[in-house]
Amino acid sequence: MKGRNLLAVVILAIIPLAVLNAEVTVRLHQPPPGQLKMEHLWSAELNNTDQTTYTVCLYGWVLKEGKEVFHAYSNDFELPPGKMTIKAKDIKSVRDVWHASGYKAFTTRTGKIPEGAYVACIKVLRAGTREELGKNCIRVTVSHPGPPRLIAPKDRDTLTEKYPLFTWTPPMPKPAKLTYELRIVQILKGQTPEEAMLSKPAFYEKKGIKRPSFKYPPSARAFEEGKEYAWQVTAFSGRTLLGKSAIWWFQMAVPSTPGVLPGGEKEIYFADAGEVPGSVYRHKAGIDTKIYTKPSGRIYSFLFAPWDPDKLYFVNANEHKIFLKDLSPGAPPATIVHTHSTYVRDIAIPDDGLIYFSEATGAGGDGKIYRLESGGTVTLYYTVKLSSVDGFWGGDFAFDPNGTLYLSTGNRVGASIYKVDVGADVVTKIYTASGECIEGMTFSNDTLMYYADWRKKIYCLNLADNSRTIVYDKASRTWLSDIGLKPRETSVNPHGVHNWIMVWGVGGTMLDNIDDTTGLTSYGSVDSAPFGGYLGFRHGSSHAIPITTGPHLITHYRWLYKHDSIPGWNEFTLPVNVHYVKEIGGFLPTFPSYNLGPHVINSKRLYEFRPHDPPQPSSPGDTAYWPTSGFLGDIYSGFLSTAGEHLAPGRYQIKLEIYDSLGTQKMPGPATFRFIVPTGEDGGGTILTRDPLPNDTVGGAFVFALHIDNRPCSAYVAAPLIGSTAASDTCGFLRFDPADTSPVHIAYHASHPNGFARFHFKIVRGIFPVDSSSVLHPYVFRTSAGVYTGDGSGNYEHDFLRATLLGPCAEAALSENLYVYAKATRGWGQRISSYDASFVRAFALSEMEE
């Protein structure tokens, strides 16, 4: 026992030193997710381990990328022995407040600090001497939830439904206690939607909405036919304002009046080339409304993209450029999609979804019509010989719904319209306007065409009998140069429902369960999970697809992927096969495999849509057909081996393009197909869908985000410590002096390079878990987990009383067990367990030998 007595003397000898260096343990509380404010620095647990009451103050500071951006001191207060909880309300005053350049102005203006990763710290200082008694730092990620985004009714829509369903997206990241306020106002004559929204009282207002949708109730004030209304959604977290959506507006439909527009349209669009700057107008119910004004220069010709009525293409006949303007609220300025070598006179987009444009010199020489290919190259489509159009062509052309080319003389008095058989190079004059010009042709259907007279009138021409009707006549107009119609969103084909293609998702994960911003998913009790391993992609289509006859072939598709930070798209290359049933007389059925691709067509790796019928046997009476159910498991249309391809971790864009049999991309539109998007299931199990949002389609393809991360987890358990003694002897004993009350320090590391993991740690004595030692946590990068303190980087520690670990035993054998579970999934609601990590460390607590 002499050794133990000597150790006790040494311990008693150093106690006064501990008193002289009194220590206060500090634990700064974690702020609410995504937030960091000054008051959060004054929220902490303090533990004065000395027996002396100190007069102290708190010093709080915030770091970003290692540089201080804020600091302040609290007032002085008394800190008695033991534990004390400090809250912001306990701090009576704050002094010596300092902000880094730019932070004070931002904080004063917004009440927040800029988004980013920060380290927040506090020190406990003795008043007067500023001696440090203790400190603590935590990692905080600040993210400001964005405002809601409106979905429906679409901006500038015309509604027939008396009780419309208003829908919007929630703020992201989604905060706690989220509610919405819906405000609807009537737009009075002369008001903009923004001005109307400022008017009080509202036409209708609803607060406390808990879901991102609201059905207008029959008990509410009725919308009036022909009136226009603006609407906006405001999001709150509790009483905190998160943001306001853009302001959209809609008009309640007026019962149709026969003969208002011969083609049945409720509105028509036009450009007046006499205006500088040029504008595109909508004419509806006798009112002209500007929907877009070019910053400078004229607008001669324009059109709306068949796949998206918010995409406006336009040209100035005295410029070389083709412009594109997104009319969606908050969209950026117009961009240039092509620059030609000379003046661009007119533009059109037929059913192939490509842009066609013309160059012409009137009577100066033959004109040309070009096609802008999907890759950006230009192909000569047709040469307009002046000898075929009575010696003059101003560049005006159009396509009818069947893809037939029409020309007009343009801005020459006594103009004519010509029908062109491009393949045979035959031009036929079909109509002449005596004493007038013909500009801006656009088709309503196979026989009805609208055009302007280059003055102040718009006509509807019936090509069946060459009769025409004036549909617009306004003396204030100068040079009506082009006419446009928005694509009909509810257009139907002769067989009924418009053809559709839907990206279902990845594996068993439907697209609505993949975050459209992060590309992460959630399943079971796991959230914010990336994808990895061998992924199967799924899409479906209407029964008419593939379409192998007629003018609008749809036969193939292509999957591509691209890392956000790496330029260039990559094609899917893995084979896709489906099985069919083959029945031969006198034999049991077999199930041959049919390869969908990839097949190299026009230098692209394309896959077939599954044919309507599989290959048929040659003998009469034998047959082949597709299975009546999916029991053979052929549900995928593309595969990507994310681990085999060694894809860099991060967010990817996944793209689906549609093609014909020649490898020409097919664009969504009334005459081809539409993309639809799954939105989940209702209470009865019906899968619901919606139209794509503007960001869902790029260049006629459907695009969605997918986060891929195949990196493994890591796990490590450090040797337990008593003071400076580690369990490092060859027999695994951690020996203690019974007179020493020092705790046993337990530390471990649970991590994933990007935090995509959760972990379980426990200490077992014999076969029994040690009380309070077990923790199962959904995240690895946290500042606390159960009784353990973390540093936000996966390192955790805790000091256990020796008695807690020993329990009823004088000596005990223990094991520390750490398992880190990877969150990555193949999309079927299960983890990729091969990316897990584990670590076990055994040790024994034993009394120190004499």
Bond preceding residue 575 cis, omega within 30 of 0? no
Phi first, then psi, for residue 672 (nearest 5°) are: -120, -80
pLDDT at 734 over 80: yes
What angle (nearest 5°) sits at the alpha carbon of residue 231, between those of residues 226 and 232? 175
Given a contact cutoff of 8 angstroms between Cβ atoms, the answer to whether 582 and 590 are in contact is: yes
> Could you give the CA distance from residue 305 to residue 669 in angstroms, rounded to a whole number?
8
**pLDDT one-digit tens code per residue, 146-184:** 788 898 898 877 787 889 999 988 887 677 788 999 999
At 334 the pLDDT is: 93
DSSP symbol at 388 = G
At 16 the pLDDT is: 35
Give the Å distances, CA to CA, from 452 to 15, 164, 459, 484, 813: 99, 36, 6, 11, 94
pLDDT at 726 over 80: no
* Residue-wise DSSP of 648-678: PSEEEEEEEEEE-TTSPBPPPSTTS-EEEEE
> Could you give the CA distance from residue 714 to residue 835 in angstroms, rounded to a whole number?
9
Which ranges of 21-160 does DSSP label H, i.e. alpha helix? 103-110
What is the average pLDDT score of the chain? 87
Confidence band for 355, pLDDT divided at 50, 70 and 90:
very high
> Could you give the CA distance from residue 605 to residue 573 in angstroms, rounded to a whole number?
7
At 173 the pLDDT is: 67
**pLDDT one-digit tens code per residue, 793-811:** 999 999 999 999 999 999 9
Given a contact cutoff of 8 angstroms between Cβ atoms, the answer to whether 823 and 530 are in contact is: yes
At 799 the pLDDT is: 94
> Could you give the CA distance from residue 241 to residue 359 in angstroms, rounded to a whole number?
54
Q: What is the 3-state secondary structure (H, E, C) of 611-646?
A: CCCCCCCCCCCCEEECCCCCCCCCCCCEEEECCCCC
Phi first, then psi, for residue 399 (nearest 5°) are: -115, 140
**pLDDT one-digit tens code per residue, 593-625:** 999 999 999 999 999 999 988 998 887 778 889
Which SS3 state, helix, strand or coil, does residue 423 take?
Answer: coil
Phi first, then psi, for residue 12 (nearest 5°) are: -65, -30
Q: Is 644 left (phi over 0), alpha (psi -120 to 50) or beta?
A: alpha
At 781 the pLDDT is: 93
> Could you give the CA distance from residue 417 to residue 439 in angstroms, rounded to a whole number?
10
Lowest mean pLDDT among 24-38, 67-81, 782-796, 827-841: 24-38
Confidence band for 255, pLDDT divided at 50, 70 and 90:
low
**pLDDT one-digit tens code per residue, 746-785:** 999 999 999 999 999 999 999 999 988 999 999 999 999 9
> Could you give the CA distance from residue 236 to residue 112 in angstroms, rounded to a whole number?
15
Beta bridge partners of 272: 480
Non-local CB neighbours of 13 within 8 Å, separated by 6+ positions? none
Given a contact cutoff of 8 angstroms between Cβ atoms, the answer to whether 756 and 709 are in contact is: yes
At 21 the pLDDT is: 45
Non-local CB neighbours of 167 within 8 Å, separated by 6+ positions? 150, 151, 152, 212, 213
At 446 the pLDDT is: 84
**CA-closest candidate to residue 532, choices 648, 362, 358, 692:** 648
At 109 the pLDDT is: 66
Beta bridge partners of 260: none
At 496 the pLDDT is: 32
> Could you give the CA distance from residue 632 to residue 502 in angstroms, rounded to a whole number?
21
> Could you give the CA distance from residue 158 to residue 489 in angstroms, rounded to a whole number?
12
Given a contact cutoff of 8 angstroms between Cβ atoms, the answer to whether 74 and 91 are in contact is: yes
Non-local CB neighbours of 54 within 8 Å, separated by 6+ positions? 22, 24, 48, 78, 79, 126, 127, 133
Beta bridge partners of 590: 582
pLDDT at 317 over 90: no
Residue found under tokens 């391993």: 533
Given a contact cutoff of 8 angstroms between Cβ atoms, the answer to whether 703 and 825 are in contact is: no
> Could you give the CA distance from residue 439 to residue 433 in angstroms, rounded to a whole number?
11
**CA-closest candidate to residue 735, choices 751, 747, 720, 715:** 720
Confidence band for 850, pLDDT divided at 50, 70 and 90:
low
Given a contact cutoff of 8 angstroms between Cβ atoms, the answer to whether 273 and 314 are in contact is: no
Q: Determine whether 177 is exposed, middle or buried from the number of CB atoms within 10 Å of its CB (0-12, 13-18, 19+).
A: exposed
Beta bridge partners of 482: 271
Confidence band for 137, pLDDT divided at 50, 70 and 90:
very high
- In the chain the domains, ranked by start, together with CATH numbers, are 21-142 (2.60.40.10), 149-252 (2.60.40.10), 268-484 (2.120.10.30), 500-708 (no CATH), 714-847 (2.60.40)
Phi first, then psi, for residue 839 (nearest 5°) are: -155, 135
At 643 the pLDDT is: 86
Given a contact cutoff of 8 angstroms between Cβ atoms, the answer to whether 532 and 650 are in contact is: no
**pLDDT one-digit tens code per residue, 811-843:** 999 999 999 999 999 999 899 999 999 999 999
Given a contact cutoff of 8 angstroms between Cβ atoms, the answer to whether 774 and 713 are in contact is: no
In this structure, which amino acid lies at residue 604?
A: K
- Cα 832 to chain centroid distance, Å, stands at 25
**CA-closest candidate to residue 336, choices 319, 327, 324:** 324
Q: What percent of the chain has pLDDT over 70?
A: 94
> Could you give the CA distance from residue 739 to residue 381 in angstroms, rounded to a whole number?
96
Which tokens sit at 677? 């998007």
Lowest mean pLDDT among 21-25, 370-374, 380-384: 21-25
Lowest mean pLDDT among 302-311, 328-337, 704-713, 721-730: 721-730
Beta bridge partners of 493: 496
pLDDT at 493 over 60: no
Compute the Cα dihedral for 600, 601, 605, 607 and give only its sign.
negative
Lowest mean pLDDT among 428-432, 613-617, 642-646, 824-828: 642-646
> Could you give the CA distance from residue 279 to residue 334 in angstroms, rounded to a whole number?
13
Neighbours of 593 (CB within 10 A): 11
Which tokens sit at 347? 């533009």
